[in-house]
Structure 1
Amino acid sequence: MHSELNPDDDNAPICEPRLWRDDGWTARVIKNNDDEGWAVEMTRHGDAEPALTGPWTMGRDKKNPKPLDTSAFHTLVKTASEVLRRHEQQLHARLHKSLAVLTPGGRITVTLDIVPDDDDPHALLTATDAGSERLAQVRVNADFRFTSASAEAWVENGFRRFG
């Protein structure tokens, strides 16, 4: 029997052969549209989309899916959590970049922090000294070409605004 989850439900655990909900996650075994097999979706509570969708093992009868159990659920939670962690790390790496510029006065760290706002995408270019004191910050376009050369030029030109 297939039950739809409503976000207004209390998040009481469910332990059914094709639906398992616990620890902030829901595992749902579904028919795999690509072939004759089955798939499992792992969705973190509050997220609109599954964090992980993958093939699911057939049961002994070779027609129905293997039922979910505690061990499988915990393995799926661990795998889905790792997928989310990797996505977050990739997003962070794409939105936050850092370079060091060596000057006669010492090392200056220049960072670019992209703000992916739908209405006003932009980035902040920031310079800090070795003691982490902010020396300058300017707003630049979100597609600003952040390279060693552009960071060095900004420092050498006294942190003047671009454009």
Structure 2
Amino acid sequence: MTDFADDTPTPIHEPRVWSDERWIAQVIKNEDDDGWAVSMTLHGESEPALVGPWTMGRDKKNPKPLDVSAFNTLVKTASEVLRRHEQQLHAQLNKNVAITTADGQRLRVALAIVPDEEGATATLSAQDDLGQELARVPVPPTFKLTTDSATAWAQGGFEKPR
């Protein structure tokens, strides 16, 4: 539910659904066995950020009800999962290597890929050891940045690699 006056979701505090302004926790029947699972979904997202097992209640049939403590723990865990996913994606899209040119200059060569549904783009750049940018050229997102390819690019006068 959303409060239309300010578009802030209305908090829900029910035994199987708990939410705040950002997250919705839902206890669901685990289809794989007789147990229960809990999903954590960011408001506005279609897929949960986290799904995990949920504790059975005292009757060993129904799930333990959600409460503020459990919800806060789930929020912390789901937020950490998202943070790790973002870090992994960043690492996949941004690579850099340090090289030393033939004249002894230390450089950092970086490849930054920008994903896009229309087609990803990529940029290759070089900085000296003081952080001054020496070159920046577009490259295909499939460009493989290695020490050898970075050295060849620098030795070639920072011309756009083929």
- Using the size of structure 2 for normalisation, the TM-score is 0.92
Tell me: CA distance 1:13–1:6, structure 2 relative to 1, closer, same or farther (3 Å). closer
Runs of 4+ in structure 1 deviating by more than 2 angstroms, as ranges, are 5-10, 103-106
Other-structure match for 2:36: 38
Worse-superposed segment, 58-67 or 129-138: 129-138
Please state whether the residue corresponding to 1:98 is helix, strand or coil.
strand
Deviations 1:24-80 (CA, angstroms, capped at 9, x unpaired): 111000111111111100011222211000111110111110000111001000000
Please state whether the residue corresponding to 1:86 is helix, strand or coil.
helix
Contact conserved, 1:7 with 1:46, CA < 8 A, in 2? Answer: no
Contact conserved, 2:8 with 2:21, CA < 8 A, in 1? Answer: no
Following TM superposition, by how much is the alpha carbon of 1:88 offset from its aligned partner in structure 2, in angstroms?
A: 0.3
Q: Distance in 2 between matches of 1:28 and 1:138?
A: 47
Structure 2 unpaired stretches of 5+? none
Cα RMSD (Å) of the superposition? 1.6
Whether 1:129 aligns to 2:116 is: no
Q: Which amino acid aligns with 1:133?
A: Q
Q: Distance in 2 between matches of 1:29 and 1:55?
A: 9
Whether 1:90 aligns to 2:95 is: no
Deviations 1:92-146 (CA, angstroms, capped at 9, x unpaired): 0000001111122521110000111221222100011122221111111111111
Worse-superposed segment, 119-128 or 71-80: 119-128
**What is the percentage of aligned positions where both structures have the same residue?**
59
Q: Distance in 1 between matches of 2:54 and 2:136?
A: 51
Whether 1:107 aligns to 2:88 is: no
State the number of aligned residues.
159
